[in-house]
Chains A and B, each alone.
Chain A
Amino acid sequence: MAYIPLDDRLPGMRALLAFRPEIAPALMELMQVVMRSNEGLSIGEREMIATYVSALNDCYNCHHIHGEIAQCFFEDRPNLLEQIKNDYSSAPISERLKSILNIAGTVQKSGKWVDSEQIDAAKALGVSDLEIHDTVLIAAMFCFFNRYIDGLGVVSNDTLESLKSRAKIMAEQGYH
């Protein structure tokens, strides 16, 4: 049971957006603008950052749905997101992507812990200023969404099948 009366037929964020419809346009626009761009980071990489940060925050709703969405963009590596949640350093991804997840994981702990060494390491691997910006913003955004969902005690009614089918639609259509 969530801490406030929510429509339990609606999954995850949808129930919160229905509770306070005035905020829905801004939250959807934020997701669409930041998560559905291929400029710099790809859509799949953005979803990967979201999944990793949500797993660190132990936010069940977010890391499951975004993990399934991200997985849709890495069909050649069927268990990739599970591997990243467990230990990204041994996952089959580029050093560039590892340097990005390293920054995202630090933001999850505290913005103040991001140091110039890890930024320089990412830049040396070809990560652009925009990609650094978007990595920090996505990590901060999911610390926000995770707290919003878990802070109100939103529970998941999803099954593995319902997660996968919702994720497929969101991977194809985005956040409208």
Chain B
Amino acid sequence: MPHIPLPDHLPGITGLLEYRVDSAKPIRDLTQILLRGESTLSEGERELIASVVSHGNACKFCAAAHTAAADILLGDSETCEMVKNDLENAPVSPKMKALLRIATLVQKSGKAVTQESINEALTNGATDREIHDTVLIAALFCLYNKYVDGMGSATPTDPKFYLTLGERITTHGYSRLKEGYDHLKNNTIH
């Protein structure tokens, strides 16, 4: 049960973003720039960062949503599963592995990041901008995870819900739908 009244048809983050549209706008803008804007990291790689952090925070809604997005963008579901559960053996580049390790440190605490973990990313070819964006995306998902779970927002259990959501965030992105979300009122998938 959410800790405040939120619309039944908007579980997870969406009901919260609709509750205060003015604070939602910069959060949505930031996410759109970081996860969909110009970058040397692919959109799939950036969704891996979102997934690994949400998984570390045990935020089921965010982890399922961004895993669905990563799976669509990467074209397989094994990579994200491995990244979340066995990063060292995951089929990603050494650079990406080093960046994902930094993300898991940020998930615990900003202070957990060490010069050594940064050097490892640099040695494997990561740029300053990639390191910056990795830390910022990891921090942003700590915001989302704490917001969603701290408000007790509803977490749908039907996997179909996350497939639909994954489609939306990989095709439309993170900005607010122009038509709003009323059309989801008849949605039976929860």
Interface residues of A, Cβ cutoff 8 Å to B? 3-5, 16, 19-20, 22-23, 25-27, 29-30, 33-34, 57-59, 103, 106-107, 110-112, 114, 116, 119, 129-130, 132-134, 136-137, 139-141, 143-153
Q: Does B5 contact A (CB under 8 A)?
A: yes
Q: Is the pair A133, B20 in contact by a Cβ cutoff of 8 Å?
A: yes
Q: Is the pair B59, A148 in contact by a Cβ cutoff of 8 Å?
A: no
Q: Is the pair B113, A150 in contact by a Cβ cutoff of 8 Å?
A: yes
Q: Tell me the chain B residues, 80-124 only, with Cβ under 8 Å from chain A.
A: 102, 105-106, 109-111, 113, 115, 118
- Bound: A132/B3 CA distance, A: 8
Q: Does B151 contact A (CB under 8 A)?
A: yes
B135 contact from A27, A114, A147, Cβ within 8 A? A147
B139 contact from A134, A151, A153, Cβ within 8 A? A151
Q: Is the pair B26, A33 in contact by a Cβ cutoff of 8 Å?
A: yes
Count of chain B residues with Cβ under 8 Å from any Cβ of A?
Answer: 50
- Bound: A130/B6 CA distance, A: 12
Chain B residues contacting A136 (CB-CB under 8 Å) are: 3, 146-147, 150-151
Chain B residues contacting A140 (CB-CB under 8 Å) are: 142-144, 146-147, 150
Chain A residues contacting B150 (CB-CB under 8 Å) are: 103, 106-107, 111, 114, 136, 139-140
Closest to B22 in A: A33
Chain A residues contacting B78 (CB-CB under 8 Å) are: none
- Bound: A153/B58 CA distance, A: 26
B138-166 interface mask toward A, CB cutoff 8 Å, 1 = contact, 0 = none? 11101111111111100000000000000
Q: Tell me the chain B residues, 1-32 only, with Cβ under 8 Å from chain A.
A: 1, 3-5, 16, 19-20, 22-23, 25-27, 29-30
- Bound: A114/B133 CA distance, A: 29
- Bound: A110/B60 CA distance, A: 13
Q: Is the pair B132, A4 in contact by a Cβ cutoff of 8 Å?
A: yes
Q: Is the pair B33, A148 in contact by a Cβ cutoff of 8 Å?
A: no
Q: Is the pair B110, A150 in contact by a Cβ cutoff of 8 Å?
A: yes
Smallest beta-carbon distance A20→chain B, Å? 6
Q: Does B37 contact A (CB under 8 A)?
A: yes
Q: Is the pair B30, A23 in contact by a Cβ cutoff of 8 Å?
A: yes
Smallest beta-carbon distance A22→chain B, Å? 6
- Bound: A20/B130 CA distance, A: 11
B146 contact from A25, A111, A148, A153, Cβ within 8 A? A111
Closest to A152 in B: B135
Q: Is the pair B109, A57 in contact by a Cβ cutoff of 8 Å?
A: yes
Chain A to chain B contacts (Cβ below 8 Å), 23 pairs: A4-B128, A20-B136, A22-B33, A23-B30, A23-B33, A25-B29, A26-B30, A33-B22, A111-B57, A111-B59, A114-B151, A116-B152, A119-B3, A129-B5, A136-B3, A136-B151, A139-B150, A143-B139, A144-B140, A147-B106, A151-B110, A151-B138, A153-B118
